[in-house]
Amino acid sequence: MFLALRDIRVKSPTFGKSVGLEWNAADGFAVPVPAGVAHAVFFLEDSVLAFGLSGYWRAEMDVVGCRWDNLDPSIQWPIESAALSARDTESGTYADMIANFEELSAAHAASVAATRG
């Protein structure tokens, strides 16, 4: 599979940095992706993707995204076009994703602070 990652955490020292890499089961390692790092996956052959979470999954944060080909123009994708899900087809731009992530992250932080007193 081909995996593209880009840091969308505005306050991170690695904000905007990205990487694209090919990866398969023979590589024998997992790729940890921190919260706030956008990721796009393209399967080069029939595959199964398994992933784990380090914290509680929040559906409201799962709406953050952009089109795979708008994540970072410098990423060298192994394809020109891809079959997309409805969600991926309707995804916006990288700039939209950053704005949505910042807005949802702030709302989540405020919610957590309110529950703590």
Which has the higher per-residue pLDDT, 63 or 87?
A: 87
CA–CA distance, 7 with 116 (Å, rounded to integer): 29
For the stretch 73-79, contacts whose Cβ atoms lie closer than 8 Å and that sit 24 or more positions apart, written own/partner, are 74/18, 75/4, 75/18, 75/20, 76/20, 77/2, 77/4, 77/20, 77/42, 78/2, 78/22, 78/42, 78/44, 79/42
pLDDT average, residue stretch 80-105: 89
pLDDT average, residue stretch 63-90: 87
How does DSSP assign 79-97, residue by residue? -S-----HHHHH-B-HHHH
| pTM for the full predicted model | 0.83
Give me the pLDDT at residue 112, please: 85
Q: What is the pLDDT of residues 15-62, one digit of tens each?
A: 999 999 998 878 877 888 888 899 988 888 888 877 777 777 777 767
Tell me the percentage of the chain whose pLDDT exceeds 90.
32
Beta strands in 14-58 (DSSP E): 18-22, 37-42
Give, as one character, the DSSP assignment of residue 102.
Answer: H
Residue 117 has pLDDT above 90, yes or no: no
Give me the pLDDT at residue 12, please: 95
pLDDT average, residue stretch 4-18: 95
Residue 67 has pLDDT above 80, yes or no: yes
